[in-house]
Amino acid sequence: MAITSTSSSAAFSKAAIAGVVGVLAVWSAVLPQSASPRFYPDDPLWTDNDRVADASKVVEVEDSNSYDFVVNTLGHPGELRDVRALNVNTVDEVPDSSWFTNRIGRNAMSTESVRRGPDRAERINVTGWKVSGGKSAGVQPGFRMTDAEGQIYQIEVDPPSNPEIASGAEIIGTAFYHAIGYNVVDVYPAEIDRDALVIADGATIRDPLNGRRRQMKKYDLDNVFNRAARLQNGHYRVLVSRFASGMPLGNFRYYGRRPDDPNDLVSHEHRRELRGARVFGAWLNHDDSRGINSLDMLERTNGRAWVKHYMFDFGSILGSGTVYAQRHRPGNEYMFEQKPGWLTMATLGLYVRPWITIDYPDVPKSVGRLEAARFDPVQWKPEYPNPAFANMRPDDAFWAARIVSKFSDAAIRAVVEKAAYTDPAATDFMTKTIIARRDKVVATWLNQVCPVVDTTLSADGTLAFTNAAVDAKAATAPERYELNWFRFDNATDQRTPVGEAMRVTAGSARVPNGLTGDFVGVNITAVHAQQPGWANPSTFFFRRASGGWSLVGVERGAQTSAPTSARR
């Protein structure tokens, strides 16, 4: 009897639990989910605090040239996905981080600031420094020196065939990439008296012919200066690069994450500043944009370790091939690209790749091989596929092109003059060519989406905006803008259209009647016969704030579904 009673009770309990769970399941399904809102109260964030977690366990990862080439050429590393960059803030900009610091793109920079770049000193004098070791990597001949305070510098020479070519490129590239926002080391031109050099006790070099580390000897310096352009006074012009502070961790990659860095949340191929580097690379012909030309350093702040990411080695940009004038292929075709290769093979060379016929202007040897007439920003390529570049979308390119547009002619000339070319014709040609390439880059990539920027919504309901392409003289004004307003539910991510499509010809409009709520948005396209890309909409979200509206969100182009982590 007792047994029967127990069985009945258990059966009842099971049935009750099953019933309750069923009801609760239905209930939970109809309840609003507690998902993350589209916009947090602190959006948009302009600083990504990627030093918050201690990264002291990070270990060095130094890729070899051959592995970087093989894996990127044949391996297709990383993810190729049409998804918005995962590290942008809600207004589609890159927040300051260990990777990038907004400079000319967000705040006006004086010509002098752009020219000066990261430099801590106006000029540098290596007299009294000691040679402290060999150079660790790269094709450019060089060595290391240490100043009286123990700061290490890398010294590199220019090739006899093209004096000033690599040092000039490095100085120009460093200044531009710094103003753009990347971390770079300061570099200086200097003059060295070979006979005055002293090798420090304990200086070592990794023998380039067998890889073994050994004591550095006088002939190691001879090997450097035998391949160096000499000045008329018998000295040598050299490039002096200051070593970054911290502990070297090798290079970063343009794909994946550093698994041992807790602050590295976003796959690198989906970082906006790495995708957009394709635009900067095209502009300045930085065909050497690859992982091995980057540097991670472990720094400490307030006792906590974090990784700082540097771009470096700009000696092969513009017309320089570092130890010779740049060849025809770099910038135009990958080192290994199947289709043109097979075509050339099959036709016994009768098929001529287009870049072979580029007629480079006759310019001073310090410039190398550079031109703007045949330059096509879209077709430009680095030495081999770059996963971040492959993921670049119109919104990434727009972000980068807008930064490029901020470099004035005067700023460009000032940067080129910093290279201190002996021949004024080199300075003139370089300046004109960089300006011409800038104009092409801007005209190409500011016009692939509706280039409406600087959008504001005043308390009285007046929308104002400007056109980045028109402002940059990359396009004429459109025939009209078309605006579609909507009410936005921040919790559910739902947009409810309000009013009819609005057409305006200037950069202002009134909010339609009936548009209420804490969040509103407007979708803007532009009609221009020569700019079909302007039909690719830009969308702006505003949040009601005390005394008016604040811009809280920007989307450019049609958005694909993105994972939660992308919704920033």
Partner 1 sequence: MPRVVVLCVIFLSFVSSPASAQEPQTREEADRRRREQQAQDPATYKPNGLERALDFAEDRAIFLLDREGVHPKLGSLTTGSGFAYGVGFRDRDLFSNKGAVEVWAAGSIKRYWATEARLTFPRLANNHLHLEAWGSHRDYPQENFFGLGPESNRDDRSDYAIRTDHFGGRAGVRPVDHLLVGAGMEYLEPRLGAGQNDRYPDVPVVFPPSEVPGIDSRSDFIRSAAFVEVDYREPINAKKGGWYRFDFSHYDDRTTDQFTFNRFDADIRQFFGFLAGRRVIALRLAASTSDTEAGQTMPFFFMPTLGGNETLRGFREYRFRAPHAILAQAEYRWEIWSGLDGALFYDAGKVADQRSDLNFKDLESDYGVGFRFNTNSGVMFRVDAAFGSKDGNHLYIVVGGVF
Name which position in 1, 41, 112, 202 contacts partner 1 (CB under 8 A). 41
3-state secondary structure 494-557: EEEEEEEEEEECCCEEECCCCCCCCEEEEEEEEECCCCHHHHCCEEEEEEEECCEEEEEEEEEC
CB 567, min distance to partner 1, A: 10
Q: Which stretch binds partner 1 (CB under 8 A): 330-338, 421-429, 494-502, 550-558?
A: 330-338
Q: Which stretch binds partner 1 (CB under 8 A): 49-57, 100-108, 162-170, 442-450?
A: 49-57
Contacts of 455 (CB under 8 A, 6+ apart): 463, 464, 465, 522, 540, 551, 554
Name which position in 202, 209, 302, 561 contacts partner 1 (CB under 8 A). 209
Name which position in 40, 82, 198, 508 contacts partner 1 (CB under 8 A). 40
211 binds partner 1 (CB under 8 A): yes
CB 169, min distance to partner 1, A: 21
By CB under 8 A, what part of segment 358-387 binds partner 1? 358
The answer to whether residues 89 and 49 touch, using CB atoms and an 8 Å cutoff, is no
52 binds partner 1 (CB under 8 A): yes
202 binds partner 1 (CB under 8 A): no
What is the H or E stretch that residue 283 is in?
Answer: helix 277-284
By CB under 8 A, what part of segment 310-329 binds partner 1? 327-329
| b (16+ CB within 10 A) / e for 134-167 | bbeebebbbbbbbbeeeeebbbbbbbeebbbbbb
Nearest CA to 468 out of 379, 542, 400 is that of 400
353 binds partner 1 (CB under 8 A): yes
59 binds partner 1 (CB under 8 A): yes
Name which position in 77, 118, 246, 262 contacts partner 1 (CB under 8 A). 262
Smaller CB separation from partner 1, 113 or 223: 223
259 binds partner 1 (CB under 8 A): yes
Name which position in 6, 110, 125, 336 contacts partner 1 (CB under 8 A). 336
Alpha-carbon distance of 124 to 286, in angstroms, equals 26
Across 119-160, the runs of DSSP E, i.e. the strands, are 130-134, 142-146, 152-157
13 binds partner 1 (CB under 8 A): yes
Nearest CA to 369 out of 336, 404, 335, 330 is that of 330
Contacts of 293 (CB under 8 A, 6+ apart): 251, 311, 312, 313
CB 213, min distance to partner 1, A: 11
566 binds partner 1 (CB under 8 A): no
Contacts of 20 (CB under 8 A, 6+ apart): none
Name which position in 160, 208, 497, 532 contacts partner 1 (CB under 8 A). 208
Burial of 296 (0-12, 13-18, 19+ CB in 10 A): buried
Q: Is the dihedral of CA 557, 560, 565, 568 positive or negative?
A: positive
Give me the torsion for CA of 500, 505, 510, 514, rounded to 10°: 0
CB 67, min distance to partner 1, A: 4
CA 366 to chain CA centroid, Å, is 27
Smaller CB separation from partner 1, 5 or 513: 5
CB 35, min distance to partner 1, A: 9
16 binds partner 1 (CB under 8 A): yes
CB 84, min distance to partner 1, A: 16
- Which positions from 544 to 563 touch partner 1 by CB under 8 A, shown as an x/- string? --------------------
Contacts of 33 (CB under 8 A, 6+ apart): none
Smaller CB separation from partner 1, 110 or 226: 226
Smaller CB separation from partner 1, 272 or 568: 568
148 binds partner 1 (CB under 8 A): no
Name which position in 11, 24, 80, 231 contacts partner 1 (CB under 8 A). 24
By CB under 8 A, the count of residues binding partner 1 is: 70
Alpha-carbon distance of 140 to 187, in angstroms, equals 15
8 binds partner 1 (CB under 8 A): no
Name which position in 5, 232, 233, 357 contacts partner 1 (CB under 8 A). 357
3-state secondary structure 308-370: EEEECCCCCCCCECCCCECCCCCECCCCCCHHHHHHHHHCCCCCCCHHHHCCCCCCCCCCCCC
Nearest CA to 310 out of 263, 265, 247, 396 is that of 247
Name which position in 222, 454, 479, 493 contacts partner 1 (CB under 8 A). 222
| Beta bridge partners of residue 295, listed in sequence order | 310
217 binds partner 1 (CB under 8 A): yes
Smaller CB separation from partner 1, 90 or 536: 90
3-state secondary structure 335-351: CCCHHHHHHHHHCCCCC
By CB under 8 A, what part of segment 64-93 binds partner 1? 64-67, 70-71
Smaller CB separation from partner 1, 98 or 484: 98
Both tokens assigned to 500: 């009819």
352 binds partner 1 (CB under 8 A): yes
CB 538, min distance to partner 1, A: 22
Both tokens assigned to 506: 């200037």
Residues lying near partner 1 in the complex (CB under 8 A) are found at 12-13, 16-17, 20, 24, 27-28, 31, 34, 36, 40-43, 45, 48-50, 52-54, 57, 59, 61-67, 70-71, 207-212, 214, 217-220, 222-223, 258-260, 262-263, 265, 327-329, 335-337, 341, 344-345, 348-349, 352-353, 356-358, 565, 568
